[in-house]
Amino acid sequence: MSDLNSLANIAEILSTLTVIGGALFAAIQIREFRRQRRDAAAVQLAQTFYQPEFAHAVQLLRLLPDDVSAADLRASGRDCEVAAIIVCTRYETLALMVFDEMMSFSLVRQLTGGLVVVLWRKLRRWNEQIRIEQSQPSWAEWFQWLAERLDEQRDGKEAQPAYLKHAQWRPRV
C-alpha cells in the first residue's frame, strides 16, 4: 500500500510539473508569436513608405501651409485632396496598430514620427472642417491621436536627427 501511495504522489508531482511545463511553453510561444507579429507589422510599415502613391501624397502635402482650410486644399486641385485622404487613412491604420500594441510606439516614432506631426499640422484644419461637413466627428480620429502622442513625446534629444543623435553608434562586427 505504501508503494502505491508513493507512486500516486510521484504521479501527482509529475502531472503538476507537466502542467507547469506546458504553461511555460505556451507563454513562451505566445511571446514569440507577438514578437513575430510586431516584426511583420514593422516590415509592412516600412513597405508602406516605399509605395509611390504615398510618396506622391507626401510630396503634394508638404508644399501646403500649416492648417490649410478645406477650401484652400480643394483649390490646390483634386490630387491634393486625394493625397490628404491617402495620408489620413494610412495613418489611421498605423495609429490603431500602435494603440492595439500590434506595433511599437517607439518604432513608429523613429520611422515616421516627425512626418506624422508635420502632416497633421498641415491637415488639422481641413480634418476639422471635413468632420463638420460630413457630420463625422470620428474622421481621422486615430491620425490625430497618433500625431498628438508623437508631438507630446518630442524633447530636445528626440528632436535631434538620427545622424546627430546616434553619431557614435557603430555596427557590431
State the pLDDT at residue 138: 96
Distances (CA, A) of 58 to 22, 53, 62, 64, 81: 49, 9, 6, 10, 12
State the pLDDT at residue 37: 78
Return the C-alpha cell found at 40.
511583420
Compute the distance between CA of residue 173 and CA of residue 157 in angstroms, rounded to an integer.
27
State the pLDDT at residue 123: 98
Compute the distance between CA of residue 145 and CA of residue 150 in angstroms, rounded to an integer.
9
pTM value?
A: 0.74
Report phi then psi at 59, rounded to 5: -55, -45
Compute the distance between CA of residue 41 and CA of residue 139 in angstroms, rounded to an integer.
24
Spans of the chain below 70 pLDDT: 1, 155-159
